[in-house]
Amino acid sequence: MIKKLLFCLFLLTATAVSGQSIFQSAKWIVPGFKEDTLLRPCPVYTKTIDVQKGLRSATLYITAHGLYEANINTQRVGDAYFTPGFTSYNRRLQYQQYDVKALLKKGRNAIAVTIGEGWYRGVFGGNLAHDIYGNDAGLLFQLDLTYNDGSHRSVLSDSSWQCTTGPIRYSSLYDGELYDARIQLRQPGPVAIADFRKDILVADNTPPVREKENFHPIKVWTTPKGEQVLDFGQNMAGWVRCQLEGKGGDTIRLYHAEMLDKEGNFYTGNLREAKATDTYILPGKGKGTFQPHFTWHGFRYVKVEGCKVNANDFTAVALYSDLAPAGTFSCSNPMLNQLCHNITWSFKGNSLDIPTDCPQRSERLGWTGDAQVFCRTASYLFHVDAFFSKWLQDLEADQAVNGAVPSIIPDVYEKLRKDPRAGAAGWADAAAIIPWTLYWVYGDTAVLNRQYTSMKAWVDYINSVSKDGLWTANGYGDWLAPGDSTSLPYIDQCYWANSTQLLINTAKVLGKTADVEKYSPLLQNIKSAFLKHYISPEGVAITNTQTAYILALQFDMLPDCMKKNAADRLATLVRNNNDHLATGFLGTPYLLHALSENGYTAIAYKVLNQETYPSWLYPLKMGATTIWEKWNAIKPDSTIQATSFNHYSYGAVGEWLYRVVAGIDAASPGYEKITIHPQPGGGLEWVNAGYTCPYGRIVSNWKITNGKFTMHVEIPAGTRATIMIPGKESVEVAAGTYDF
């Protein structure tokens, strides 16, 4: 219990102190000069302060419109990137707090804050809109100094600051950065005071984006087209740090790509409009170290122009939110281990402050469908409670007055409404699915209390647009399924039922009896309409696809008398497809569960172990180091399709590996009660898995030697577990270590 209490306290470490009260006297400032409309140099705000007495403490509070990098005496403040983070800027703007005492010295101290375009005012979104949230590069700054004698002083952003530009001539999330090292800070000019809102300021309480793993080139070569290319061996999101030397004015360009084409040339055909190019103009003063400031790229390969490549001068740096690791999984099948590696790296590459769909092309958006299908798998890999909780607050902030949920959060298309499918089944249902998932995994009702209004508004919205008990919406369906399409209205009805069920579950947890009584009859009406319109009396779905039966089974849409028939039909469809999947974004996460929970674990393993298209292992055979958006992103003849090669949605199979193959599952919210129920198969000889729940570490290891099954289990203090040994009766145990 102590561990769980500490775990919950972690969620509260960043108290929601009102930003308006903190920045009460500070002023929003903007450049006093006219900025360019396009390719704007990054503004740099400067101020010099005197510190004449010994300091007891120095605390900086800061936020910006755009991205900021603060320096004191040329030393960078903090190690977080892309601050203040990506939120629904019109409604929620984060600020950060830093202890900067160690950066200050007695006497004169130089402060400089550079503002990058970022999501706020740069070119962003699939339609390449400019200045989505505003066109200013605003700064709000407060440095509170407490001296040893007990006196206080605050350094505030106000008209005493100056503003100029420096070596960052432009920095775009999609196009990259131009850094001209010949340019130092230009002659500064005055700033202007702006009247921007402070009442939307909130404390940052999510893990920051940091530099993580470093990679050195595993190969440097010249392509058939004569290009110098480095291979870092891992598809990732981040940037390249390089040591460059040359004459003043020499221009070095680094181009980023995920793949090589069929002939072995550098391939950027899947980047859409993103140039993904970093440019450095050298000062001519010896070797210098260069890396971007306000951009990142999705890449494995880098093409270099303008200098002779020395592999030792280039390091790829992975960037992602600094999430604490949670689970480990390994087994006797090296390909499944590589699959786990790919799943983990796809989540790393798509967790730069928000859960995104891809990190490479001119998109990188918070698609709700991708996030909801992967959330439970993400929870096995990392502790994602704060990460998703922050994003859910933006989901509620951007939710329409009528309860409809945009397909992308933050909703960068709100002004233009380029997304006509707001309220799409399987996407907008993230409003209900993710809060319940977080509660189930971490056992904290705070997320349910916070999101309940949003969950309820979403279900009420569907009810308001339904007719005769049926919901039909213009959704995305079973996105990119390689098999026959599943009826959109069929999918709508299943997800409507699921979100309603989760709302009822939440109302029970929160003691909202009136809502339980209100929505329970609605749920029965939804299911009755589903049976009447979409299922024959024999239990046959009108849309005879794998996904149709998967959703009906997983969302409990069928009476008990029909479930076996539905499971049999699903198994038959899989067999008739040569034991291959035929599912897209919505069916794939539940496919193996629907099989293993209904007596077809052996078939589930056959599907898992397929190495030909479409399958999870086919991309591995083609050299993938992350999960692909399309099952056949590279065709068997090595032809590349213009798609994302780092897209975690299909990696949702990771949940099945932990819950079924290793057998680690929560039997009650927060793992106070644990189920250990491994289901061996698929030719696996051993599995070693661990997961750190709110109470501590759970371990489930098993192996088969000469036909003999043995299992090692560890259960943390404060919990109880039901251990189900294959072929034996289950055993109820308290905390401890057990061998069977």
Q: Which has the closest alpha carbon to 569: 599, 536, 539?
A: 539
Q: Which of 177, 258, 629, 655 is catalytic?
A: 629
Distance CA 738, CA 123 (A): 56
Q: Which amino acid, one-letter code, is at 629?
A: E
Q: Which amino acid, one-letter code, is at 223?
A: T
Distance CA 698, CA 168 (A): 48
* Residues 6 or more apart in contact with residue 143 via CB below 8 angstroms: 49, 58, 59, 60, 61, 100, 111, 154, 155, 156
Concerning whether 363 is annotated as a catalytic residue, the answer is: yes
How many whole angstroms from its chain centre is CA 617?
23
Tally of CA atoms within 13 A in the half-sphere of 141 that contains its CB: 27
CB 657 within 8 A of CB 340: yes
Distance CA 452, CA 471 (A): 22
Structure tokens at 674: 């644990």
Q: Which has the closest alpha carbon to 11: 717, 581, 694, 736?
A: 694
Q: 202, exposed or middle or buried, with CB in 10 Å at 0-12, 13-18, 19+?
A: buried
Q: 727, exposed or middle or buried, with CB in 10 Å at 0-12, 13-18, 19+?
A: exposed
Distance CA 694, CA 561 (A): 38
In the numeric block, the tokens 């890999």 are attached to 381
CA distances in angstroms from 359 to 3, 270, 347, 486, 684, listed in the order given: 35, 12, 10, 29, 34
CB 93 within 8 A of CB 87: yes
Structure tokens at 133: 């949230």
Distance CA 83, CA 294 (A): 10
Structure tokens at 322: 């600094």
Concerning whether 211 is annotated as a catalytic residue, the answer is: no
CA distances in angstroms from 461 to 379, 384, 423, 465, 614, listed in the order given: 29, 28, 8, 6, 36
In sequence order, which ranges of 635-707 are alpha helices (DSSP H)?
654-656
Q: 694, exposed or middle or buried, with CB in 10 Å at 0-12, 13-18, 19+?
A: buried
Structure tokens at 241: 């740090």
Q: 47, exposed or middle or buried, with CB in 10 Å at 0-12, 13-18, 19+?
A: buried
Q: Which of 177, 363, 396, 655 is catalytic?
A: 363
CB 253 within 8 A of CB 278: yes
| 3-state helix/strand/coil string of 366-391 | CEHHHHHHHHHHHHHHECCHHHHHHH
Q: Which amino acid, one-letter code, is at 562?
A: M
Q: 88, exposed or middle or buried, with CB in 10 Å at 0-12, 13-18, 19+?
A: buried
Q: Would you give the DSSP letter of residue 660?
A: I
Distance CA 620, CA 611 (A): 8
Q: What angle do CA 481, 483, 486 make, to 5 degrees?
A: 70
Q: Which has the closest alpha carbon to 682: 657, 701, 664, 706?
A: 657
CB 198 within 8 A of CB 297: no
Residues annotated as part of the active site: 363, 629
